[in-house]
Chain A
Amino acid sequence: MSDHDTPGGEVARTDGEFGATAVRLDEGHVIGDGGLPDRFENPGLEPHQQRMSDQSEAGAKRAEKQVAALFSLSIIGTIVFVVAYFALDAHAYVFIPGIGDMDYSNAVLGTALAFSLLGIGLGAVHWAKTLMPDEEIVEMRHPMRSSDAARQGVVDTMLDGAEGSQINRRPLIKYTLGGALGLFAIPLGLQLVGGLGPLPKNGLSLTYWNGPIGPDGKPHFKPLRLMRDPENTAIKVSDVTVGSVFHVQPEGLLDMDSGVLEAKAKASVLLMRLPPDTITSRKEIAWGHDGIVAYSKICTHVGCPVGLYEQNTHHLLCPCHQSTFDVTDDCRVIFGPAKRPLPQLKIAVDDEGYLIATQPFREAVGPSFWERGSA
């Protein structure tokens, strides 16, 4: 790099390539002050610029009129609003360029209210900027501390009060008051925790496919038919042609006395028919019927309904976070944040040719939760 071992290196060779004026970094350096003064001087305020309204009475008069006009605009807006509220038909439509057809009454009320509010605001700001004093001033800081006498006075007052209440001489009052105030915090916390609802117990692990709840409070399994959502009619195996998708709810779900929506949110199922030779998972074939397979519709990520079935790629897409499941391979996750495949519902055909679920889901449907065990 360099023939001379110089501490500062060199920025340019001195052999004439850049002329004789090139200076080495370690030569000709003067220790300077970087242009910083020893002490900053207070620059003071900029010279005050007078406004039109300060310079002439005519200018001030004009500003006054402008402010009054803005306030009048607000008054007119308010009056128009009140009149339009009663006078206009609430269901008439009008074409507004750039917006299209919209409710006449909505358009007038909204515009009038906008002028009514904006007029006040614009008027106030314009008033402040044109007529209110705008002389730059400096307010010096003043000490925050009160005088010693005032501080001592507060302490004396407090001590006098404590002495007068006899709290130090009567410990019974002191401790019961402390206890009362301390316990008073409990109901507040109790409401907060109690408002989180009952403990879930095993409710998140069971779905309506586990069977209706019996008198003993436990589900009793029986094979349930797969019903169309929302028609609630049973599905014949011959109804499900290749490329079809059915949205399914369990038989009897709508007969529940309460909690129908909560139960439906766990038990919703998507029924699809694929060409049987496209399915690669043996368990999926065994749990289905001739290419008809049923999978939970509840995403294993955060529980959105996975409804976007593409019949040409056999992908199931969740609309919330784009988790994608491969229906040909037991709904394996092929894209997105979901970590587990969708649980499969084992189906068969009953004597009358309707599709039934021969066992409940073998794992909890939907997203992970604390008591689920395996992630």
Chain B
Amino acid sequence: MNALAARRRHPAVLTVLLLVALVATGCAYAAFAPKPAQAATADADQVAQGKKLFQANCATCHGLNGEGTKTGTGDQIAGPPLAGVGAAAVDFQVGTGRMPMAAPGVQAAQGVKGAQFTQTQIDQLAAYVASLGPGPAIPAAADYDYSNADAAKGGELFRVNCAMCHNFAGSGGALTRGKYAPSLATVSPKHIYEILNTGSQAMPVFNDTNLSPDSKREIIAYIKTIHTEPSPGGLKLGSMGPVSEGLFAWVFGLALLIGFAVWLGNKSA
């Protein structure tokens, strides 16, 4: 105890105390945070259950019947109409935690805690939205099974169709006015397949006549390959290209050079 008391004025004390407090708060939150409710009975009529979920969680912006709403300030869209977006769009938006949106903003970001509903609830919501108008359906597991797809061909397609926004290695990048293309590292094959078919926010649609189902599987194979391949050179620095690599070289390389220059210039006695 005396050793602790003696060090209470050490410059690192503030940092250490802050870290301890932050970790403790985080653990307490994780322990006491409310958990999402479990799914309703699977026997219930999916569409009816989906409508209930929709009216409780989505109707504020998308309207009570999914007709969409505008904000009070002119023609700005608060929530787009949902007739015809299809079950795939719901499965993607809700399944990645983008919807329900935490707060209005330029972009609905991927949920940090993942989906806020169980897959059963998402399926119910999707069934309800699909009943509003025909749209892309949720793909079957065989549709996005990329085990036999040609990753090299997928790379060619990716560089023409995807790389300008999502970066050559799928690390994401900036768009206009605060929007951005997210990193693709953790997106599941099903969600990649869905968003190609439906588009989302700034991302255009790549329907089956633009990128055939085979091409989509090849693109998924490419994304999964580059994110599972080890890096022979070690640290990838986010695969961001010259910006992060240059920053690393300037900060650490230059610091090392300055350190040696100071040592060389010091008098030895």
Contacts and interface: CB of A to CB of B under 8 A. Distances in A.
Interface of A: 49-52, 54, 93, 96, 99-103, 106-107, 125, 129-130, 134, 228-231, 236, 238-247, 272, 305, 307-313, 315, 317, 319, 322, 324, 335
B38 interface: no
A243 B201 CA distance: 10
B176 A311 contact: no
Contacts of A231: 215
Contacts of B235: 99-100, 102
Interface string B142-167: 00000000000000110011001100
A50 B176 contact: no
Contact of B204 (A50, A51, A102, A272): A272
Contact of A102 (B157, B210, B231): B231
B39 interface: no
Interface of B: 156-157, 160-161, 164-165, 173, 175-177, 179, 181, 199, 201-207, 209-210, 215, 230-236, 263-264, 267-269
Nearest to B264: A125
A335 B27 CA distance: 45
Contact of A307 (B165, B176, B207, B234): B165
A327 B267 CA distance: 66
A54 B156 CA distance: 68
A244 B234 contact: no
B176 A312 contact: no
B160 A246 contact: no
Contact of A228 (B177, B207, B210): B210
A302 B175 CA distance: 19
A345 to B, nearest CB: 18
B119 to A, nearest CB: 27
A351 to B, nearest CB: 19
A129 B234 contact: no
30 contacts: A49-B267, A54-B269, A99-B234, A99-B235, A101-B230, A101-B231, A101-B234, A103-B232, A106-B233, A106-B234, A125-B263, A130-B268, A239-B210, A241-B205, A241-B207, A242-B205, A243-B204, A244-B204, A244-B205, A244-B207, A245-B206, A246-B210, A272-B204, A305-B164, A308-B165, A309-B204, A312-B202, A313-B176, A313-B202, A317-B175
B164 A319 contact: yes
A52 B164 CA distance: 63
Contacts of A101: 230-231, 234
B204 A311 contact: yes
Nearest to A103: B232
A311 B164 contact: no
Contacts of A335: 176
B209 A245 contact: no
Given A101-B230, A101-B231, A134-B269, A243 B205 contact: yes
A102 B264 contact: no
A96 B232 CA distance: 12
The 7 closest A-B pairs by CB, nearest first: A307-B164, A102-B234, A239-B209, A310-B202, A103-B232, A129-B268, A245-B204
A51 B176 contact: no
B209 A96 contact: no
A107 B242 CA distance: 22
A316 B179 CA distance: 13
Given A130-B268, A310-B175, A311-B203, 12 more contacts: A51-B268, A54-B269, A99-B234, A102-B233, A102-B235, A103-B233, A229-B160, A241-B207, A242-B205, A243-B205, A246-B210, A310-B179
A313 B179 CA distance: 11
A247 B202 contact: no
A130 B199 CA distance: 69
Of the candidates A272, A308, A319, the one having the most CB atoms from chain B within 10 angstroms of its own CB is: A308
